[in-house]
Amino acid sequence: MSFNYFKIILTIIFKIFFFISISFASINEDCQNSSFYIKNISVDLTKESINEARFQAENKAKLLGVRRLTNRLLIKKNNLKFKKNEISTLVNYLKINKEANSDKRYLANFDICFNRNLVINFFRKNKLKYSETYREPISILPIFKGPRGFVMWDEKDGWYKKWKKHIKSVDGLVKVKLAQGNFQLNRTISANVLLNSDKNLINKIIKNEKTNALLVVIAEPILKTNGKTYLTTYAKHYNFDGKLVNTVYRNITPLKKTSSIYDVDENLIKKEILKMIGSIEKNWKQNNLIDTSILNVVDLVIPITSIMSTKLENKLLFNDKIVSVQSTQGFSEKGLLKIQNESIFYKNKTLKSFNNITRNIFDSSSQLKYEKNISVNQKDIRVWPMVLKKLEKLPFVIEVKVVSITNSEGRIIVKFMGNKKTFFQAVNEKKLIFENLNSRQYILVN
């Protein structure tokens, strides 16, 4: 075998390996902790042959997966129906977690990664509004008010136990966790004080749980003057500062008999918990709906607070590829420079030069020659990569375009699907706070 032929074979193998690596990296990146990744789908089928059982099991898993996906992302399904071949086209890959089989029976547990772009196109085709933004985790604190008073943080309490059980099966966009408390909190915080919305105590609970909000869920069986008994349930939503935001759920359900006040039916408790979780999910999705039929634009201003400065060590001519300066200390390893009205990009630097430069960035005006000792400046734009990265990762964003950078601020145009309320709510979840600057622009304030 000739050396050249051996080189060709090695090149082909390398390219194949590289392509596979890129493909799997892309899949993992698309589906890890993604709204389009459905986990833990169990199937058990018996057919005439094991091959038929396995084939049907995979199809059934895809059907169950797409149902869970639409339940997660949609509020209104408009009698949505899928064709068998349609479901398969939406699937990126199907992962087998475990499987077992006999001659005719096949049991397996799957995870399914759905193709985000194809699913969104499907929603657009069917004129469906959807949401895919996860809410940051929220703590749930169950409180039961029975004939003997308030009960909280009690492992034996039926209300608490049911919440603990059903929180594990939550599969929506709102991540919830059961508040655990700690020894000191559990001893010092009473339900009466908590329900009176003591900001400091509620803030302590939220910090202890390491979430950004708390949902206090209350169940109380009551005996009315007409002699009938009812179960009242409601949920209070508190923000990180401990302030009551609103009551997100309220319901009253008749009990079958008076004695139920001492022993509430477990199925009724389960229904109320699922209704509460569904109400929280629906409220979140309504505030983050993406309308694929609406294209929108926002004009964002990012303030720049400080400037690095040095001076030209030599003249800078129009065809130079290096900017020689007195010092590059404190400047970024690569980035943008400003010399008078011209923006210049450099790829790397030494102690006294900026190298591999590109002139006239952002169509800025340039000169044929800059004299020695003219100022060379660089704004502190470390906030930019973080802001750009967070904006680009928003699911409904189509394009993020940097328009200009001045001494005091930068300007970004963002094109996206949906309305501005949805956009700024999602941005707020990413810890980027914008305020209305004027009739057409928004400025970053945090």
SS3 at position 408: coil
- When pLDDT is cut at 50, 70 and 90, the band that residue 33 belongs to is low
More confident residue, 148 or 238: 238
Using DSSP's 3-state secondary structure scheme, residue 244 falls into: strand
Contact (Cβ atoms closer than 8 angstroms) between residue 299 and residue 438:
no
Q: pLDDT-derived band of residue 229, with 50, 70 and 90 as boundaries?
A: confident
Q: What's the half-sphere exposure (Cβ side, CA atoms, 13 Å) at 372?
A: 3
pLDDT in tens, 57-112: 999 999 999 999 999 999 887 778 777 788 989 999 999 999 998 888 999 999 99
Task: Identify the CA nearest to 27 among candidates 91, 104, 107.
Answer: 91
Using CA atoms, how far apart are residues 313 and 324, in angstroms rounded to an integer? Answer: 5
For residue range 414-423, list pLDDT tens digits in order.
Answer: 999 888 888 8
Q: What is residue 134's DSSP assignment?
A: P
Diameter of the chain measured on Cα atoms: 99
Whether residue 265 has pLDDT greater than 50: yes
| Amino acid symbol at 226 | N
Query: How many contiguous H segments (helices) and E segments (strands) does the chain have?
Result: 11, 22
Q: Torsion angle of alpha carbons 396, 398, 403, 407, nearest 10°?
A: 30
pLDDT at 147 over 90: no
At 261 the pLDDT is: 58
When the pLDDT of each residue in the chain is averaged and rounded to a whole number, the result is: 84
CA 34/CA 17 separation, integer angstroms: 26
- pLDDT surpasses 60 at 4: no
**What is the model's pTM?**
0.65
Chain segment 302-327, per-residue pLDDT in tens: 887 778 899 999 999 988 999 999 99
